[in-house]
Every structure is written in C-alpha cells, then in structure tokens.
Chain A
Amino acid sequence: MTTEDLRAIFVEELTRIAPDLDAADIGDDDHLQDDLGLDSMDILNLVTALHERLGVDVPEVDYPRISTLSLAVAYLRKSHT
C-alpha cells in the first residue's frame, strides 16, 4: 500500500468520525485533539477503525505518534506490512 493510499484511508476514517471536517482542510500538521477537536472517544474510534481496516493495532503509548496526519501516515507506513 502506498503512502497516498494510507493517507487517503486515514483521512477517510477521520472525516467519518468528524463529519464536519472537510478532507481538503485537514493540514498535515494539524493536531487531532488540539486543532481538530477530537476527544478521547474519537481517538479510540479512529484507532479501532484503523485496526479493522489495516490490521494495525496502535497501542495507547503510540497515540502521540498518530497525532497529526503526517505523523500518522509515517507510523502506518512503518507498521503496515
């Protein structure tokens, strides 16, 4: 899976959880909680969706490593085989 695919999947799941977000408006370095306003339930739902979709189980200690779009894509690229 390419970086672009992973990016598209992440954005798709993110906008499913926060439907008011426009995919085009999500900046690479926007922080999911501080900038995009996700709460702990949203993050858990996002991690659950990524697990189901990509088989990548992001442990809680790694949540900071998916806290922006660019960090998340890099993390998923490394973890997704």
Chain B
Amino acid sequence: MAVFTLPSLGSDMEAGTLVEWLVSPGDTVRRGDVIAIIETQKGAIEIECYEQGTVHALLCETGTELPVGAPLAVILAPGEMPPDDLSLPAQEIETSEPRRAEQAHAKAPATPPPSGNGVRASPAARLRAREKNVDLRTLSGSFPGGEIILADVEAAGQKSVEKTEKNSRIDEMRKAIAASMTRSKQTIPHFYLSQTIDVEPAMTWLREYNQTVPPSERLLIGALFVRCAAMAAEKVPEMNGHCTDGVFHPSEEVNAAVAVALRGGGLVAPALMDAHRMDLHQTMTGMRDIVSRARAGRLRNSEMTQGTITISSLGDTGADAMVGVIFPPQVALLCLGAPTVRPWVLGGKIVPRHVVTVTVSADHRVSDGRRAAQFIAEFEARMKDPEHL
C-alpha cells in the first residue's frame, strides 16, 4: 500500500488547489497516468501518478488547497488486498492534513484571498467567495439580519468573475515568476557568453523544406534551435542538469524546457522530455504539443519540474539578444535573438546573411566560460548543418 502525495509543481510553487479527480476508488492506475488536476499559480497542472496498482481511497476533496507533499490517494499494489480496517489509513492521514495545509499556507508567498473575517456570512458563501476570490467585506447580505448567503456571492461573482479571474491569474503567475527569478539571482552565480552566428544555411534549408510540405508538416526555426541545443547539451554535460544545495547532478537525459509566452501575460517553460532522442520532426511535433497545452493550461507536473536546460527564443522579429535568468534548479539557459539580415564577412567579402545572437546564461558553481563557449560552438556547428538534424 502506498500513499501517493502531491508531487513538486515547479520552482517556488508550494501549494495548489485540487480542482478535479480523474480516477475513482477501484480504478487501476499505471505510472504516468494523469490522476488529478491541480490549479496553481501557473495554471492547471495535470498530476501524474508514480505508483502502480488500484486506487483504494482518495484522501482529499476538490476545492481543497494542498501543499506539496500532501497525501492525495491510497494506492494498493497489484494483487494487494485492501487493509482490514478500510477507513484507518485515510482517517490517520486526514487528521494530520489540515495542520499541514495550514502550515504551508502560512509560508506560501501568495497572499490568500481575503477571508472576510468579522463579516456575517454563511459557510457556503465563505467557501464560494474564497473560490471566486470575492472579498466578502465588499458585499451586503440579503439574508434577514444582513448575513451574506451563497446567492449574494454568486451575484457578485457573476459581475466581476471574468475580469477578476484573468487579473488574479496574471498576478499569481507574476508572483510565481518573481519568487523563482529572485531565488535564481540570489543563489546562482550567473555568468554570460554571447556570440552572433550565421544561420543563413539553416534559414535557406528551412525555406526550401517548407515549400515541399503541407502546413501540418512545416517546421519553425525554433524547432531547429531546440534540436541543436539538445544535441549541444548532450556534448557539454555541465550545461544540462540540476544543481540542488550546491551539488550538481548532471542529467543523462536532455529535457529541453521551452519558454512559452502566454497570451495575456506571463511565461511558462515546460520541458520537452527526452529531447535528445528526438529527430527534428519529432522535436517540432513535441513543441507544437507543449506550446498548445501550455496555452490551454494542461501541462504535467513532470514537465514543470524535470527540465534540464531552458531554451528561450525571442521569435521571428524583435530584439537581437536577451540575457536570461536561469530557472532553478537548472544550470543553464540559452537565449536566441530574432534572426536578422546583417552584413557578414564570408570568404573575404561582405554579404547580407541572416544572423542570430546566441546568449548562454550559466551557473558558475558548475561551469565556467570555457565550457559555455564549447556549448555555443557545438550549437553553431549543428545549425550550420541542418540536413543532419
């Protein structure tokens, strides 16, 4: 019997709210199955199960705010009989859960919605107000005696719900980004290397390739960047892995976190798992998938936490370069400026070429300029030979 607990949700996200169970007691689960949806500062995240067996009991109800590590479900191993006293494990855990939730809440960086303490309101109204982020103090109660009831909250919620939800989502995401980036700048001794590289061969190859295929099979330059970065990361292990408590753990796999700007503001960097095993087309397919799921708010907790290097591409047009902040606990981030046509010296002549400025931010606890330069050189070599990606 195993108690499955809420796994990490990503850098500096300590809690989330359970919004949906996707399994019921009696269901069979396998490792990697999505069993629940948790709403976090960075949108809804699908929680994968790390156990195998049968769901015996669900330990929390939807709507509950849970800290990372909170018990979610009891899962029986294949063939295991349910314990004699069916209710015992659930009860034991449930009694300890509210205290844990309170503790986590107290240290969570996010400001909790106003509880409206001191306001006369029904329990249902309070719960709903909390869900909808409605401040009870701003409402007047319609119940005889002035108590605020559920209908009052619903009515208030209707008016402001769309705007409030959108604003609070962005505010919450901004808080999560701020917490993570502050920690990064406070704990990671960053250093940076920048180099402008010729991407004309890649752009030409891409243009010609895309002419021959229907839209569904077209590639974006961003896929070439991610593919080349994954190949370079395999060659330079000091750029790929996690550094926790000052100890570097290089990763065998390259889980390429791709920075995705969200419409309406904010940023997430879900990982393309095992990117080193993907060819260019698989990389593109994978990116289409994670970008669309990032925008729809359907990422998995593993994608939020297991990235080993981040790639941030500024897009088709715009700024030449960005010096980025590393996502802890990763140790490197690669920023790619917009490809632009610039005079370039080639074979002793000045010619117009598409160039891109590549900037690596790296962690001095783990590597130094020499290794970062090697990483850029590997990246550049791959970009010059797009046929072999």
A41 touches B263 (CB 8 A): no
Contact of A59 with B211 at beta-carbon distance under 8 Å, contacts A37-B263, A39-B315, A48-B216 already known: yes
B218 (CB) vs chain A CBs: closest residue: A44
User: What's the dominant secondary structure at chain B's contact region?
Assistant: helix
Alpha-carbon distance A20/B221, docked complex (angstroms): 26
B216 touches A41 (CB 8 A): no
A41 touches B288 (CB 8 A): yes
Bitwise interface map of A from 37 to 68 toward B, beta carbon under 8 Å scored 1, else 0: 10111001101101110000111100000000
CB contact between B215 and one of A33, A37, A39, A44 (< 8 Å): that residue: A44
Q: Which of B217-236 contact A (CB under 8 A)?
A: 218, 220-222
Chain A residues within an 8 Å CB radius of B211: 59-60
How many residue pairs link A and B with beta carbons under 8 A? The number is 43
Q: Does any Cβ of A come within 8 Å of B342's Cβ?
A: no
B215 touches A47 (CB 8 A): yes
CB contact between B263 and one of A18, A33, A50, A60 (< 8 Å): that residue: A18
Bitwise interface map of B from 181 to 216 toward A, beta carbon under 8 Å scored 1, else 0: 000000000000000000000000001001100111
Alpha-carbon distance A59/B207, docked complex (angstroms): 10
Alpha-carbon distance A50/B218, docked complex (angstroms): 14
Chain B residues within an 8 Å CB radius of A57: 214-215
Q: Does any Cβ of A come within 8 Å of B36's Cβ?
A: no
B215 touches A41 (CB 8 A): no
A60 touches B210 (CB 8 A): yes
Chain B residues within an 8 Å CB radius of A40: 220-222, 315-316
Alpha-carbon distance A57/B263, docked complex (angstroms): 26
Bitwise interface map of B from 300 to 332 toward A, beta carbon under 8 Å scored 1, else 0: 000000000000000111000000000000000
A58 touches B215 (CB 8 A): yes
CB distance from B210 to the nearest CB of A (A): 5
Bitwise interface map of B from 244 to 274 toward A, beta carbon under 8 Å scored 1, else 0: 0000000000000000010110000000000
B220 touches A44 (CB 8 A): yes
B222 touches A60 (CB 8 A): no
A18 (CB) vs chain B CBs: closest residue: B263
Chain B residues within an 8 Å CB radius of A45: 288, 292
CB distance from B262 to the nearest CB of A (A): 10
CB distance from A14 to the nearest CB of B (A): 12
Indicate the member of A41, A44, A51, A57 with the most B CB atoms within 10 Å.
Answer: A41
Chain B residues within an 8 Å CB radius of A58: 215
CB distance from A54 to the nearest CB of B (A): 12
Q: Does any Cβ of A come within 8 Å of B291's Cβ?
A: yes
Alpha-carbon distance A26/B128, docked complex (angstroms): 35
Chain A residues within an 8 Å CB radius of B316: 33, 39-40
A20 touches B263 (CB 8 A): yes
A41 touches B218 (CB 8 A): no
Chain A residues within an 8 Å CB radius of B239: none
Contact of A60 with B214 at beta-carbon distance under 8 Å, contacts A40-B220, A40-B222, A41-B222 already known: no
Chain A residues within an 8 Å CB radius of B292: 45
Alpha-carbon distance A23/B292, docked complex (angstroms): 20
Q: Does any Cβ of A come within 8 Å of B150's Cβ?
A: no
Q: Does any Cβ of A come within 8 Å of B287's Cβ?
A: yes
A51 touches B215 (CB 8 A): yes
A20 touches B264 (CB 8 A): yes
CB distance from A33 to the nearest CB of B (A): 8
Residues of A within 8 A of B (CB): 18, 20, 33, 37, 39-41, 44-45, 47-48, 50-52, 57-60
The 10 nearest A-B residue pairs measured at CB: A48-B215, A47-B215, A51-B215, A48-B216, A40-B316, A41-B291, A60-B210, A20-B263, A40-B220, A20-B264
Q: Could you pull out 23 A-B pairs where Cβ atoms are within 8 angstroms?
A: A20-B264, A33-B316, A33-B317, A39-B261, A39-B315, A39-B316, A40-B222, A40-B315, A40-B316, A41-B288, A45-B292, A47-B218, A48-B215, A48-B216, A48-B218, A50-B215, A51-B214, A51-B215, A57-B214, A59-B210, A60-B207, A60-B210, A60-B218
